[in-house]
Structure 1
Amino acid sequence: MLRIPASERRLDILEWLKEPARHFPRPRHGDVVHDGVAADVVAAKLGVCRRVADSHLALLAGVGLLRAKRVGRRTYYRRDEMRIAEVARMFEKGW
């Protein structure tokens, strides 16, 4: 995780997903809080193409900060609060 360069976009994604109902439109099906947010919706909010958003989301999921849930052809992302708290504790301890 420490080898991944900090990115303003990835920090924005993590912040937005803290309160997804506030930052993203309500989908036709599902719930942004329970199910997560699709990559194309994140891409639109970032103002980037979907591939760029996919790479940021995959990286965050790869280090465990996001959980990915596949529904049909789409993948939805939401924060893994337990993992984020664990990482925060490691840094608080001076890791």
Structure 2
Amino acid sequence: MTTDTELSPDSAQLLEVFKALANPVRLQVLRWLRDPEKHFPVEQGIADPYEVGVCVSHIQAKLGLAQSTVSAYLAALERAGLVRSTRVGKWTHYRRDEANIARIVAVLGDSL
């Protein structure tokens, strides 16, 4: 049981989600990953964008930001449980975690 000042695990995760989505660039990346074939050059990919994800280099190229900035943004989305990363050789690919996004939406609905 939590007191009024303690956060439940679900509430703590919602705060991570809100922090991650408060940045408009991170929110845009999450939207792009919803339909990766529409937003990223599939013919240049080495893996299925839905099963494995989009290579961080493609996300970086589309954003036009430094690799370190893009990696930090994707790490924030991953900490919040919104995306998953997969290594393919020396490349990291990101895809949405649809099951966890659905769970987060349900927790949000139950929390407010």
TM-score normalised over the length of structure 1: 0.90
Structure 1 or 2, whichever has the larger Rg, is: 2
CA contact (8 A) 2:33 2:96 kept: yes
- Corresponding position of 1:24: 40
- Tell me the matched-pair count: 95
TM-score, normalization by structure 2: 0.77
What is the percent sequence identity of the aligned residues? 37
2:105 corresponds to: 88
Q: State how far apart, in whole Å, the 1-side matches of 2:45 and 2:105 are.
A: 34
5+ residue gaps in structure 1? none
**Which stretches in structure 2 are left out of the alignment for 5+ residues?**
1-12
Q: Is 2:74 the partner of 1:57?
A: yes
Cα RMSD (Å): 1.5
Task: Using the TM superposition, name which of 78-87 and 32-41 deviates more.
Answer: 32-41
Please report how far the alpha carbon of residue 28 of structure 1 lies from its aligned counterpart in structure 2 after TM superposition.
Answer: 4.5
Superposition misfits of 4+ residues, deviation over 2 angstroms: none
Select the structure that is richer in helix: 2
